[in-house]
Amino acid sequence: MTGKVDYLRLAKEFGVQLITDEDLGRLRELAGDVHPLLRRGYFYAHRDLNQIIERQAGGGRWALYAGRGPSGDLHIGHLIPWMLAKWFVDRFGVEFFFELTDDEKFLVKEGYSLEDTNRLAYENALDLIALGFDPKHLHLIIDTEDISLLYGIAVRIGKHLTLSTLKHTFGFTDSTNVGAAFFPTLEIAMAFLPSRVSGAEVPVLIPTAIDQDPYFRLGRDVAPLLGYPKPATIYSKFLPGLTGEDKMSASNPESSIYITDDDKAVRRKVMNAFTGGQATVEEQRRLGGNPDACPVYKYHLLFQDSDETVRRIYDDCRGGRLLCGECKLMLHERLSKFMVQHREAREKARERIGEYRIAAKLS
């Protein structure tokens, strides 16, 4: 899976490790299999993933941590790290701590009230729960409601972070509002929450996109100062835009498939997608397409369960046997099925959401 973003250079810039075949082999030994998102290289880099793997091998405790700035435009790409988290939960029975940052979204985005972002936190949580988590393994933290769990840790973190450090790390300026400037302490605090609530050393593994590294690099710097284990991370590439961009663009709704899209919209977006195909059917038959530069193929990689299907699509495209139209229909069929299931599961989650709130479990 390549593209115009130079992911190797990004990994090098951030100073993170690449996931090796050896890492995947070790994971397969322990889990019995390896999730497609890992074996197909969408998650490709990490910090201390191998330490988590070895901890698992030794029977040690660890947890997963991810988060979301609640908004109304959740797209299916947002679900991808959560799908990987689900795999870890299923294979290893670990707990998954999930932060809904209604505060941050309000602080950094215009046009949302705090009531809006809080309501959207619950809406977005439904999409997470819909992936099949049970309340025993998934713990929801909503910042404005569960702040009492995080603030004590955040204050300790905040004492170690000067405004200067935050400016350099996140590009804040003197015009940044102080709520937004303080927020990273809460995102880092979450990484220490599993240790805090259990009173034991529980390192976290954070599945996220590579550009979130600065938060957790800061968290790794601070962890030893506070006596917490350093958070480990596992980094994905960016979801490509269906319209051909390297990274989905929020300003172009045709570039991605939103959870709220109806089947007609899904079909339109897929059928209008940019591809790696040739200009004419004749050329495609003769020269074959280029799946490595094709967002439709990349979506197949992310959403097709079967390696056999993916390999056949790749080979048939290269060999000129598969035309873009057919390939798009296959993707639409897959996504359509996914969306129907997701919508159903999402509505069922609505009545059970209270069971996932960490506050309810701790009180």
Q: Site residues (CB under 8 A) for a copy of itself?
A: 103, 106-107, 114, 144-148, 151-152, 154-164, 166-167, 172-182, 184-185
What's the closest the beta carbon of residue 158 comes to a copy of itself, in angstroms? 3
Query: Is 159 or 352 the residue whose CB approaches a copy of itself more closely?
Result: 159
What's the closest the beta carbon of residue 315 comes to a copy of itself, in angstroms? 53
Query: Is 82 or 106 the residue whose CB approaches a copy of itself more closely?
Result: 106
Contacts of 16 by beta carbon, 8 Å cutoff, 6+ apart: 45, 46, 47, 210, 213, 233, 235
**Token pair of 339 as six digits:** 């969306």
Query: Is 185 or 233 the residue whose CB approaches a copy of itself more closely?
Result: 185
The owner of tokens 């709220």 is 260
- Residue 142 sits at φ, ψ, to 5 deg, of -105, 115
Which amino acid appears at position 120 of this protein? L
Alpha carbon 145 to chain centroid distance?
A: 23
The helix/strand/coil state of 111 is coil
What's the closest the beta carbon of residue 41 comes to a copy of itself, in angstroms? 37
What's the closest the beta carbon of residue 218 comes to a copy of itself, in angstroms? 11
What's the closest the beta carbon of residue 67 comes to a copy of itself, in angstroms? 16
Query: Is 24 or 147 the residue whose CB approaches a copy of itself more closely?
Result: 147
The owner of tokens 């405004």 is 163
Kindly tell me the burial class for residue 344, based on how many C-beta atoms sit within 10 Å of its own C-beta (0-12, 13-18, 19 or more): exposed
Query: Is 168 or 350 the residue whose CB approaches a copy of itself more closely?
Result: 168
Q: Report the distance separating Cα 135 and Cα 334, nearest Å.
A: 28
Query: Is 85 or 166 the residue whose CB approaches a copy of itself more closely?
Result: 166
Residue environment code for 168-192, b if the CB has 16+ CB neighbours within 10 A, otherwise e: eebebeeebeeebbbbbbbbbbbbb
What's the closest the beta carbon of residue 344 comes to a copy of itself, in angstroms? 34
